[in-house]
Chain A
Amino acid sequence: MWSLLLRKLSMGRLTQKGGNSLRSHKSSNLPSSFRKSLQIRHLDCGSCNGCDWELTASINSIYDLQHFGIDFVASPRHADLLACTGPGSTHLLNAARETYEAMAKPKWVMAVGDCAIDGGVFKGAYASERGIGKTLPVDIKVPGCPPTPDDVIKALLEFMGKK
Chain B
Amino acid sequence: MLGLQEYLQSYYSNPAVKIEQWEKHEGLVEVPPHDLPGILAYCIAMRPHPIWLTHVVNDERQLGNGFCVYLVLHFPGKDFSLTLVAKGIKSEFPSLALIFPALNWSEREAQDLFGLQADGHPDPRSLVLHPGWPKGFHPLRKDYKTGKESKDFKRAPLVFPEMHGDGIFQVPVGPIHAGIIEPGHFRFYAIGEPVLHLEAQLFYTHKGIEKLIEGRSIEDGLRIIERVCGVCTVSHALAYCEASEKLANFEISRSVLLWRTILAELERVYNHVGDIGNMCAGVGFALGNANGSQCKEELQRLNLEFFGHRFLRGIVVPGGMKSIPGPTESQTIRSRLQELSDDFEKWIPLLIRHDGFRQRAVTTGVLKPESAVDLGVTGPAARASGLPYDWRELHAHLLYPELKVKAMIEHKGDCWSRLMVRVKETRESFRFLHILLSEGMKKSEHRPEIQKSFSEHRMQPWQPAWGCVESPRGTDVIWLMLDDESKIYRCRVRSASYANWPAVPLTVPGNIVPDFPLINKSFELCYSCCDR
Contacts and interface: CB of A to CB of B under 8 A. Distances in A.
B226 to A, nearest CB: 8
A20 B233 CA distance: 33
Contacts of B153: 90-91, 127
Interface stretch (A25-33, A103-111, A118-126, A155-163): A118-126
Interface string A47-87: 11111111111001111000000001011000000000011
A87 B150 CA distance: 13
Interface residues of A, number: 47
A14 B295 CA distance: 12
Given A7-B350, A74-B178, A94-B155, A50 B231 contact: yes
B94 interface: no
Given A49-B526, A127-B207, A72 B179 contact: yes
B289 to A, nearest CB: 9
Contacts of A148: 304, 310
A81 to B, nearest CB: 14
Interface in B189-242: 203-209, 211-212, 223-224, 227-231, 233
Nearest to B294: A61
A7 B288 CA distance: 13
Q: How would you classify the secondary structure of chain A's contact residues: helix, strand, loop or mixed?
A: mixed
A57 B211 contact: no
Contacts of B182: 44, 47, 49, 52
B526 A46 contact: no
B229 A48 contact: yes
A43 B179 CA distance: 9
Contacts of B311: 50, 53, 146
Interface residues on B, range: 35 or more
Contacts of A24: none
Contacts of A121: 223-224, 227
Given A61-B290, A95-B183, A125-B211, A50 B227 contact: yes
B66 interface: no
A99 interface: yes
Contacts of B528: 46-49
B20 interface: no
Contacts of B290: 60-61
B83 interface: no
A77 B155 CA distance: 23
A42 B180 contact: yes
B347 interface: yes
A52 B207 contact: no
A94 to B, nearest CB: 5
Contacts of B183: 44, 92, 95
A56 B277 CA distance: 12
A68 B505 CA distance: 39
Contacts of B347: 7
Contact of B230 (A42, A53, A87, A94): A53
A133 to B, nearest CB: 15
A52 B464 CA distance: 34
Contacts of B274: 53
B520 interface: no
Contacts of A146: 230, 310-311
Nearest to B201: A91
B293 A57 contact: yes
21 contacts: A14-B294, A42-B180, A44-B183, A46-B205, A49-B528, A57-B293, A60-B293, A61-B290, A62-B297, A72-B180, A89-B207, A90-B206, A91-B153, A95-B176, A122-B224, A124-B212, A127-B150, A127-B206, A127-B207, A128-B207, A146-B230
Interface of B: 130, 139, 146-147, 149-150, 153, 155, 175-176, 178-183, 203-209, 211-212, 223-224, 227-231, 233, 274, 287, 290, 293-294, 296-297, 300, 304, 310-311, 313, 346-347, 349-350, 526-529, 531
Given A95-B176, A126-B149, A128-B208, 10 more contacts: A46-B207, A50-B311, A53-B274, A72-B179, A89-B204, A92-B183, A122-B212, A122-B227, A127-B208, A146-B310
Interface of A: 3-4, 7, 14, 42-44, 46-57, 60-63, 72, 74-75, 86-87, 89-92, 94-95, 99, 120-122, 124-129, 145-146, 148
